Amino acid sequence: MERLPFIAGNWKMNKTVGEAVDLVRELKASLAGVQGVEVAVAPPFTALYAVWKELEGSSIHLAAQNLYWEEKGAFTGEVSPIMLKEVGCHYVIIGHSERRQFFGETDETVNRRIKATLTQGLKVIFCIGETLNEREGGKTFSVIERQVEGGLKGFGDKKIENMVIAYEPVWAIGTGKTATPEQAEEVHRFIRGKLEKLYSREVSDKIRIQYGGSVTPENVKGLMSQRNIDGALVGGASLKGESFSKIVRFKEL
């Protein structure tokens, strides 16, 4: 079935409020009139409100890079789904490999964050992926299976429909290395098959699966030509208006 391509920019810990507003202003102009693709940007928490106000009237969605699973309370330094909803967020990135690698994220905490996000009516970009050691050790599919099962534990069909999955091989993030379109497609096909086993063919056909890992204007078209790759979660190349706009306009490359 036809799935709407989805290109999201994860800015990570980059951009002051002023820089963030300048970038989305540039993106609004360069992407005006683009059709047939969904677009989102994920600034740091400090810039969310200002970016939301700047994006008003445009078709670009706002995403957050993380959240905590409680609605409020004595959790110093955390941000709740209610707070993110209030500042205009549409999506939340959950389980990014950097959260897993540097901040102790586990499949269990990913599951709790997803549950909290969906409860508030927000949509999820659920990240999964293997490390270089795991790939070289032949563990790619077992790792992906564990992460999918752990992250989606307890969710029915209706909940899953508000989710995008992002496959991001850890060895390709910020390294300049990219999985070949064929390598990425192999894992995307496996993920879709796993979703079919957990839910149904109908559900698995609907879910969009992004690829994340050193996506650039030079490699995006090859990746997007694959049957099971439905978009990209873009890191470094999303920090410049020109490169991100080219990725969004991949059909024109």
Going by C-alpha positions, the residue among 174, 71, 163, 76 that lies closest to residue 132 is 174
CA 23/CA 28 separation, integer angstroms: 9
Which residue type is seen at 125? I
| Three-state secondary structure call for residue 235 | coil
Q: Where are the alpha helices (DSSP H) in 31-131?
A: 48-55, 81-86, 97-102, 107-119
Cα separation, 82 vs 233, in Å, equals 24
Q: Is 145 exposed, middle or buried (0-12, 13-18, 19+ CB in 10 A)?
A: middle
Dist. CA 218–CA 221, nearest whole Å? 7
* Euclidean distance between the first and the last CA atom of the chain, given in angstroms as a whole number: 24
Burial state string for 101-138 with b = 16 or more CB within 10 A and e = fewer than 16? eeeebebebbbbbbbbbbebebbbbbbbbbbeebbeee
Residues recognised as catalytic: 96, 168
